[in-house]
Amino acid sequence: MEGRLSRHWDKGRRFLGVRYPLISGAMTWISDSRLVRTVGEAGALGVLAAGNMPVESLEAEVRALKAASPAVPFGVNLITIAPNYQAHLKKAVEMGVPFIVFAGSFPKKGEVEAAKGSGAKVMCFASTESIASRMIDYGTDALILEGSEAGGHIGHVSTIVLIQEVLFRFDQVPVFVAGGVATGRMIAHLLLMGAAGVQMGTIFAMSAECRAHPAFKERFRRARSREAMGTPEYDSSLPVVSVRAIKNRGTEDFGKLQLDLLGKIKSGEISRIEAQFQVEKYWVGALRRAVEDGDVDRGSLMAGQCVGLIDEIRPVRDIVEGLVREAEETLARLGQA
């Protein structure tokens, strides 16, 4: 296994310090220390989702990862728009986290420098060509190119376009591709196009070790790709980051919430900033209800469009080894040495 892959993903392996340059994308309420550790032990890179957890909880999770598998690298995903963001960054720096992944919005140059100053390797998302250029200027060590096919908070540009805008134009740092990736065959083709590796989320949410409620996983298992829909922005007076999730009554509730908030903004009852806070509060609570309580009717079922390609729940190690095997077989069919 992985004979033909070695040449094509050596850059990503060396950068991540793992056997397979596959990243388990951070998912709030899902990517805890257990899942991250399991992904790492399977040879890939697990990323802990800080979300907006209390700083004490973040510290405990990082300590658990360091104690369980000291030699296995891992990352921590920091949400730049989370209320606890600055405290999270400070704690990650203090604890010497191996990889710091900035997400949500985009970090300031000083924040990137602070992370790098702690010895961490920094990874930033690139949802447009201009953002990729800015993050490189800020000093990021790698880019994660994530298209709108991804689950959770998404940008507006598809993976196939970002590949041409970013992957084909920037070679200063390793570029990992995310958004809609769920098969070893796709991984092989992305490596041939120059990707250092890939990031996947939905497929790991469907792992046996994932803490999500059985009803949450079962809804994912039955979902079709077209059911994972991005939420619209109704009016520019309430800018919201689109969220991709499996459509349910919770999606409809969010639409009603937006309309209600727009009315309150127009009447002067609340400010735009307060309205945006209410939007994020809704998603955090709705996602928790789905993941922890199994409320698949009104909870948020954040999933990428590749959810339609995943129809079984498997152990993390089986997922990783299956992806690698299929990627290797694909390169063999294509006649790649």
Q: pLDDT tens digit string along 145-201?
A: 999 999 998 988 999 999 999 999 999 999 999 999 999 999 999 999 999 999 999
Across the range 200-214, mean pLDDT stands at 96
Query: Residues near 335 by Cβ (< 8 Å), separated by ≥ 6?
Result: none
What is the phi/psi pair of residue 29, to 5°? 70, -10
Q: pLDDT tens digit string along 38-56?
A: 999 999 999 999 988 999 9
Q: pLDDT tens digit string along 268-304?
A: 999 988 998 888 888 889 999 999 999 999 999 999 9
Q: Please give the mean pLDDT across all residues of the chain.
A: 94
Pair 126, 166: CB distance under 8 Å: yes
Please report which confidence band the pLDDT of residue 332 belongs to, taking 50, 70 and 90 as the band edges: very high
Please report which confidence band the pLDDT of residue 2 belongs to, taking 50, 70 and 90 as the band edges: low
Q: Where are the domains of the chain?
A: 5-211+311-333, 224-302
CATH architecture of 5-211+311-333: Alpha-Beta Barrel (3.20)
